[in-house]
Amino acid sequence: MTEIFGVPLQALMGQLVLGLVNGSFYAVLSLGLAVIFGMLNIINFTHGALYMMGAMFTWMLLEYTGVGYWWSLLLAPVGVGLIGILIERVLLRHVYKLDHLYGLLLTFGLALMIEGLFRHLYGAAGQPYAVPSQLTGALDLGFMFLPKYRAWVIVASLAVCLFTWYMIEKTRLGAYLRAATENAKLTQALGINVPLMVLLTYGFSVGLAGLAGVLAAPTTQVGPLMGSNLLIVVFAVVVIGGMGSILGSVVTGLGLGLVEGLTKVFYAEAASTVVFIAMAIVLMFRPAGLFGREK
Residues that bind another protein (CB under 8 A): 37, 43, 91, 94-95, 98, 100-102, 104-106, 108-117, 119-120, 228-229, 232-233, 235-236, 238-239, 269, 272-273, 275-277, 279-280, 283-284, 287, 294
Q: Tell me how far apart the alpha carbons of residues 30 and 39 are, in angstroms, rounded to a whole number.
A: 14
Tell me the HSE value of 205 on the side-chain side, using a 13 A CA sphere: 32
Find the shortest distance in angstroms from Cβ 228 to another protein. 7
Nearer to another protein, 101 or 196 (CB): 101
**Pick 1 or 90: Cβ nearer another protein:** 90
Tallying the residues shown for the chain, one arrives at: 295
State the pairing for strand pair 145-147/7-8. Answer: unpaired
With residue 30 as reference, give the H or E element that holds it.
Answer: helix 9-40
Whichever of 12 and 36 has its CB closer to another protein, that residue is: 36
| Residue 145 CB coordination number (10 Å) | 15
Q: E strands, the chain, where?
A: 3-4, 7-8, 138-140, 145-147
Q: Assign residue 263 a region: left if phi > 0, alpha if psi is -120 to 50, beta otherwise?
A: alpha
Count the neighbouring beta carbons within 10 Å of the beta carbon of residue 44.
30
Q: Which is nearer to another protein, 65 or 272 (CB)?
A: 272
Instruction: Output the smallest distance, CB 174 to another protein, in A.
Output: 24
In degrees, rounded to 5, the angle at the alpha carbon of residue 30 between the alpha carbons of residues 49 and 209 is 40
Shortest CB 265 distance to another protein, Å: 18
- In the complex with another protein, the residue whose CB is nearer, 102 or 176, is 102
Of 217 and 271, nearer to another protein (C-beta) is: 271
Give the angle subtended at the CA of 238 by the CAs of 174 and 24, to the nearest 5°: 75
